């Protein structure tokens, strides 16, 4: 095998995995706290890509010249507005169904997903949207003997660092803050959390906001990296991020991050050495395999079954 191609696919896989991980976090946190798959989460991510492009255009129109300033502003605005979408979805589509059977919120989620896709299709058009490349340039990665084994664009470096930073921040919040403790308590025993004075409706809303914020980071990063997107990107990426969450162990935060990286690497190597056309099929095959062989995932707890 060619060392250059392997190196390059590993780099691409890590970048892809960082994106999957960021989105997978939203699936896993919502599942952990409500025992429900938020199928609209992929579309929240899709919306964030549009929002990022819109804010970028607005800021450029407003005369913001400096790329770093524009990026920070776009990131902040995208997170804020995407979080608002996440919050709204929970408030409108899930909270009224809180005490119904398990199927109802699932159907509601699929409904929300369709609504969001068509809302974007009607308001933004069905055509592919794009943004110009903002960050140019790359660095070469050399092996010890001086042979180049791959190249990393500055955008890719930005993606991986931003993903690490935001996941680190989220993990820190969950581990060390009062909010994080309340989230974990609500996840483990919702009624007991209420008895202790925790407003679990607020906690659930906050979890949707945090998940959407992470998806927003992913949406902006993907927009920067690939430059193009349409109203349907949430579907495939959503299922892959969901696969990553299941692979890592649904409900587990480190699991989502690990699952994202593993899936990204596998997919990248598969398309580099086997076949590009079937890379999505490959990802779904991984999902099925995990569900059959180890449904609790790599870092999940086998006994997790929400009531």
| Residue range at the interface with other proteins (CB under 8 A); choices 140-148, 187-195, 209-217, 218-226 | 187-195
Least distance in Å: CB of 190 to other proteins? 10
Q: Are 134 and 224 in contact (CB under 8 A)?
A: yes
In the window 139-178, what residues touch other proteins (CB under 8 A)?
A: 178
Least distance in Å: CB of 189 to other proteins? 6
Q: Does 198 bind other proteins (CB under 8 A)?
A: yes
Pairing mode of beta strands 138-142, 129-130: unpaired
Q: Does 307 bind other proteins (CB under 8 A)?
A: no
Q: Does 99 bind other proteins (CB under 8 A)?
A: no
Measured from the CB atom, the residue of 84 and 306 that comes closer to other proteins is 306
Which residue in 161, 199, 228, 275 binds other proteins (CB under 8 A)?
199
Q: What is the DSSP string of 178-223?
A: HHHHHHHHHHH-HHHHHHTT--HHHHHHHHHHHHHHHHHHHHHHHH
Total residues in contact with other proteins, by rule CB under 8 A: 17
Measure the CA–CA gap between 232 and 76, rounded to whole angstroms: 24
How many angstroms separate the Cα of 138 from the Cα of each of 150, 153, 163, 220?
Answer: 10, 4, 19, 19
Measure CA 80 to chain center. 16
| Residue range at the interface with other proteins (CB under 8 A); choices 2-10, 62-70, 192-200, 229-237 | 192-200
Measure the CA–CA gap between 133 and 161, rounded to whole angstroms: 19
Measure the CA–CA gap between 260 and 248, rounded to whole angstroms: 8
Q: Does 182 bind other proteins (CB under 8 A)?
A: yes
Q: Does 196 bind other proteins (CB under 8 A)?
A: yes
Q: Does 123 bind other proteins (CB under 8 A)?
A: no
Which residue in 100, 161, 188, 275 binds other proteins (CB under 8 A)?
188
In the window 66-85, what residues touch other proteins (CB under 8 A)?
A: none
Which residue in 142, 189, 274, 285 binds other proteins (CB under 8 A)?
189
Q: Are 183 and 176 in contact (CB under 8 A)?
A: no
């Amino acid at each position: 095998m060619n060392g250059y191609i392997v190196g390059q696919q590993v780099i691409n896989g890590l970048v892809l995995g960082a994106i999957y991980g960021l989105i997978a976090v939203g699936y896993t946190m919502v599942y952990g706290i409500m025992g429900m798959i938020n199928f609209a989460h992929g579309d929240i991510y899709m919306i964030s890509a549009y929002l990022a492009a819109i804010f970028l255009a607005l800021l450029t129109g407003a005369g913001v010249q400096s790329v770093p300033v524009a990026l920070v502003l776009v990131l902040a605005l995208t997170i804020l507005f995407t979080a608002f979408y996440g919050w709204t979805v929970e408030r409108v589509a899930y909270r009224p169904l809180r005490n119904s059977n398990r199927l109802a919120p699932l159907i509601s989620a699929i409904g929300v997903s369709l609504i969001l896709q068509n809302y974007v299709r009607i308001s933004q058009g069905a055509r592919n949207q794009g943004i110009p490349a903002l960050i140019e340039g790359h660095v070469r990665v050399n092996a010890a003997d001086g042979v180049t084994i791959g190249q990393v664009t500055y955008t890719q470096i930005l993606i991986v660092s931003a993903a690490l930073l935001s996941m680190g921040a989220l993990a820190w919040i969950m581990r060390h803050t009062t909010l994080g403790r309340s989230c974990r308590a609500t996840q483990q025993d919702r009624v007991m959390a209420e008895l202790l004075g925790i407003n679990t409706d607020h906690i659930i809303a906050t979890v949707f906001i945090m998940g959407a914020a992470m998806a927003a980071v992913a949406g902006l990063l993907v927009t920067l990296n690939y430059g193009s997107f349409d109203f349907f990107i949430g579907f495939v990426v959503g299922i892959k991020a969901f696969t990553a969450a299941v692979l890592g162990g649904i409900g587990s935060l480190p699991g989502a991050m690990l699952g994202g990286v593993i899936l990204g690497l596998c997919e990248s190597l598969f398309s580099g050495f086997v076949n590009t056309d079937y890379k999505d099929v490959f990802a779904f095959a991984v999902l099925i395999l995990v569900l059959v062989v180890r449904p609790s995932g790599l870092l999940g707890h086998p006994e997790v079954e929400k009531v």
